[in-house]
Structure 1
C-alpha cells in the first residue's frame, strides 16, 4: 500500500475514534454508576476525557478536522453551559495551536517556494513555529534589512487532507452532534466544504491581506500587516505582536472586553466600505490586541469580495424589522431570494424568528452574553418550537453566505466577550440602508 492511502486510512480511523470513543466512555460511565459513583462525578470525568480526546484528534490531524474544531470553538457560546464548560479551554486551544511540521519539511517548502538560497534573505529564521493552525503554520523571522516578518507555510497535502476530513466529518455529523447540544453540525461542515478552494489559495489570500493593509494603513484602530512576498504555498508579511483575543475573552476586564468588542465590530463592518472586502473568518484566533490598544488582524484566507460594499437591502430590511413591519420584511426577503416565491410564511412568526438578528441594533447600547446567545440558539433549534420549522423554509442566497457567517460568528464572539457597547452606532456608520 502506498504512503498516501495509508495516511488517509489513518486519518479516517482517528476521526472515527471520536464518536466511538464517546460511546465507550459512556459505557464505562454506566458501569461506574452501577458501582456507586455519583452521577455528577461520572459526567465530569466523561466530559474531561472527551475534551482531551477532541483536542488530541482534531489538533493532530490539522486540515479539515482542526478547522472544524476552530469553528466549534467560535460557537461554544451557544452550547448549554453544563456542556460548554468542559470543552471551552480545549476548543480555545484549537484556535491557534497544533503539532508543528518538522524543520526539514519547513526548509523543503521554503526552498521550493522562495528558492534554494532562501536563507540568504534572512538574518534570523526560527525553525520552531510561532503558531500552527488548520492548513498552515507561521514562523518568525528577521530579514536582512532588519524587518521582523511572519512566514506562513501551507502544510504539504493540505488540500487532500482538508477535503478528506470534511467528507468524513460530514458522515459523522449526526453522531458528532451529540458532543455539542444546540449546534447543528451538518450545515457547518457543508459550508466549510463550499469554501475549500478559497482558503487553500495563498496568492488570493495575500492579495486580500494587502488590500486591507492599504485601506487601513496608519489607522488609529486597526493594524493589518503588509505582505512582503507570496507564492501559492507561502506568505511573508510584517510581524505583529499582540495579546490573542482569546486571552481578552478569558482574562480581560469588563472595560477592555467592551472596548475590544466595539473595535472588532467596527473592523468587520468597515472592511467592505474601505477595502471592498469582508473578513469572513471571525474566530478569535485571527485577532490580536496590540500594546497600543489597536486591534491587529491576521489570516485573510476567507474574504467576501464586496467592491460595492455591503448590500443596501441588508440595512434597509434591518431598519424595517426594527419598525415592526413584518409584511414589508417578508416582501424584502422574497425579493432578495431568502424566501422562495411560493413559500407560505406568517409575517409575525418571521419577525419572532429574526428577533435575535435585530435585537442588538434596537438600543443605543447592547449587552451580549453567553446566556443570551444560548437562549437564541434554543429558540431557533428546539424542534418543538415553531421557529425551528420556519428556519427550514428560509433560503440563504450564495451572495449572502459569507455575510451570514460573519454576522453569526461575530455575535458568537461578542457573546464570549460579554461585551456591552454602542453597536447600533456602527451600523449607522457602515451599513448602507440602515440609517436612511
Structure 2
C-alpha cells in the first residue's frame, strides 16, 4: 500500500476514534452543566487516554504539551494525558525504504556504510535509525512519517474542537492563544532544515557549557524531512533517580544550565523537556537530542521575565503589573493580578532564597504544580478568567517540565545562585547584539 493511502486510512481511523471520544465528552459535559448530571471524569479521562494513546502523530504530541500547561484542560484529563508516551510503535522496513528513497533518491543506500531499517526509537512525528557513514562515524537518522503536514492541520482542528468544548463548560482560561502557539510550534517541528539550524544555534549558545552535548548535523544526508546527525550514547535520566545525591545534583545543574543559559543569554527556550528528548552520559553530562520545539523571544521579553522575578522577590506590585503587561496579559484587574501572582510566586519560589533547596519543598504530589494550578484555576474562574499570551505557553511548559525532572531527581541545589549568575549582568541591548550575531551565524530568523 502506498504511503499516502496508508496515511489516509490511518487518519480516517484516528478521527473516527477521537471524534467518538470528543463527542461523548461534549455530551457528558453538557449534561453536567445544564442538566446537573454528574459524570465520572476519572473514567472518562481514562477513555480519552485510551483513544489517544495508540495514535502516532501530532495529536499525541499535543496531548503531551497540554498535560504540562496548568488548567488548559480539566485536571483529570491532564493527568491521564501526561501518561502518554512518545515511544510509539515504529514503522517497518518497507516503510523505511520508501521514505528514504523519497528523501535521498533511489541510490540512498549507497550513501551509508550501514543503515538499520529497524527503528532505534519512535516518537510522535518520526522515528530514529542507527547508521554509519563511509568514514565509520555512527549516525542517528531521524525520518519523518509521511503526510505529517496534513495530519498536523487536521489534528489542530481536533484540538480547537477539544478547546471549544471545554471553553463552553469553563471560561476561566481562554485557550485561543494557546492553540495558536501550539499550532505554530508544531508546524515548525515538521521542518527538519529549521531544526538543523536550531541545532547549530544551540552548539553556539552552549559552546562554553561542558555539561551539555549537542549533536552535529550531516547536511549532505539531511532534507526537509530527514535529519542526520552524529549518534550520542546515553542512558535515561530516570536511571539516576536513586543515585547518590552528589550525582543527582550534578545532573540537575546540567539540566538547569542546558535550558536557561540559552534563555537568559540569547532569548531562546527549549519548549519540550520531555524525558525522551535527552540522555545522560556516564560522566553525568547531558545529551540534548531534539530541537523541534524551540521558541525565541525578544530581549525585552526576557527582561520582563526577570522583572517579574524581582517583583515577586520584593513584593513590588507595580513592577509585577508592568511585567505581566510586557508578557502580553491584557485587561488585568486587581483580583486577576493577585491570582497571577500566586502562580508566579510558585514558579519563582526555588529562586528566592540563597541556600540549597529541594524541589519537593514546593510540591511532591507527583504532578509538579498541580495544587497551585488548581487554586489559580478556581480563583480565575471566580474572577472572570484570563487569556494567557502566546509567550506564556512554552515558557511555562519549560518551567513546569523541568520542575518535574528535578522532582524525580530529588536534587538539592542553590537555585538562587545559579539563577543570579545568569541574570546579574543582563542588559537588553547587549543581548540583542549577542542574539543577532548568533542567529545570523546559525541562519535562524530573529524573533
TM-score (ref. length: structure 1): 0.77
Counterpart mapping for 1:195-210 below 5 A: 195-210=185-200
2 CA distance for matches of 1:52 and 1:351?
35
Cα distance, 1:22 vs. partner? 8.8
Cα distance, 1:284 vs. partner? 1.7
Cα distance, 1:352 vs. partner? 3.5
Q: Is the 8 A contact 1:381 1:388 kept in 2?
A: yes
SS for the counterpart of 1:100 is coil
Structure 1 residues 133, 214: closer, same or farther in 2, change over 3 A?
same
2 CA distance for matches of 1:306 and 1:76?
21
Of residues 360, 385, 395, the one that matches 1:392 is: 385
2 CA distance for matches of 1:253 and 1:87?
31
Structure 1 residues 243, 174: closer, same or farther in 2, change over 3 A?
farther
In the alignment, what sits opposite 1:322? 313
Deviation track 1:404-425 (CA, whole Å, cap 9, x = no partner) reads: 4323333343344444322222
Counterpart mapping for 1:308-347 below 5 A: 311-334=302-325, 336-340=326-330, 343-346=332-335
Cα distance, 1:373 vs. partner? 2.0
In the alignment, what sits opposite 1:360? 350
RMSD, matched Cα = 4.0
Cα distance, 1:267 vs. partner? 1.0
Q: Is the 8 A contact 1:315 1:432 kept in 2?
A: no
Deviation track 1:127-154 (CA, whole Å, cap 9, x = no partner) reads: 1111111111110111111111100011
Instruction: Say if 2:260 is the partner of 1:269.
Output: yes
In the alignment, what sits opposite 2:442? none
Counterpart mapping for 1:207-246 below 5 A: 207-217=197-207, 219-229=209-219, 230-246=222-238
Instruction: Say if 2:65 is the partner of 1:62.
Output: no
Deviation track 1:314-340 (CA, whole Å, cap 9, x = no partner) reads: 213311320111133223433x15343
In the alignment, what sits opposite 1:27? none
In the alignment, what sits opposite 2:287? 296
Cα distance, 1:78 vs. partner? 12
Aligned length: 400
In the alignment, what sits opposite 1:305? 296
2 CA distance for matches of 1:399 and 1:390?
22
Cα distance, 1:286 vs. partner? 0.7
Structure 1 residues 298, 102: closer, same or farther in 2, change over 3 A?
same
2 CA distance for matches of 1:218 and 1:327?
37
1 CA distance for matches of 2:396 and 2:66?
16
In the alignment, what sits opposite 2:32? none
Cα distance, 1:16 vs. partner? 2.9
Structure 1 residues 253, 51: closer, same or farther in 2, change over 3 A?
farther
Cα distance, 1:70 vs. partner? 2.7
In the alignment, what sits opposite 2:111? 121
1 CA distance for matches of 2:272 and 2:74?
24
SS for the counterpart of 2:97 is helix
Q: Unaligned 5+ residue runs, structure 2?
A: 27-39, 429-447
SS for the counterpart of 2:113 is strand
SS for the counterpart of 1:152 is strand
Deviation track 1:212-265 (CA, whole Å, cap 9, x = no partner) reads: 12443484200111111221011100111211235445x656554443223211
In the alignment, what sits opposite 2:99? 109
Instruction: Say if 2:420 is the partner of 1:431.
Output: no
Cα distance, 1:60 vs. partner? 3.7
2 CA distance for matches of 1:351 and 1:66?
31
2 CA distance for matches of 1:348 and 1:338?
17
Deviation track 1:9-53 (CA, whole Å, cap 9, x = no partner) reads: 221112135457899xxxxxxxxxxxxxxxxxxx9xx86x97598
Q: Is the 8 A contact 1:227 1:235 kept in 2?
A: yes
1 CA distance for matches of 2:11 and 2:228?
30
1 CA distance for matches of 2:334 and 2:300?
30
1 CA distance for matches of 2:420 and 2:279?
26
Deviation track 1:46-66 (CA, whole Å, cap 9, x = no partner) reads: 86x9759836x4354212221
TM-score (ref. length: structure 2): 0.75
Deviation track 1:145-199 (CA, whole Å, cap 9, x = no partner) reads: 111110001110011112212322332347799xxxx999887655422323211
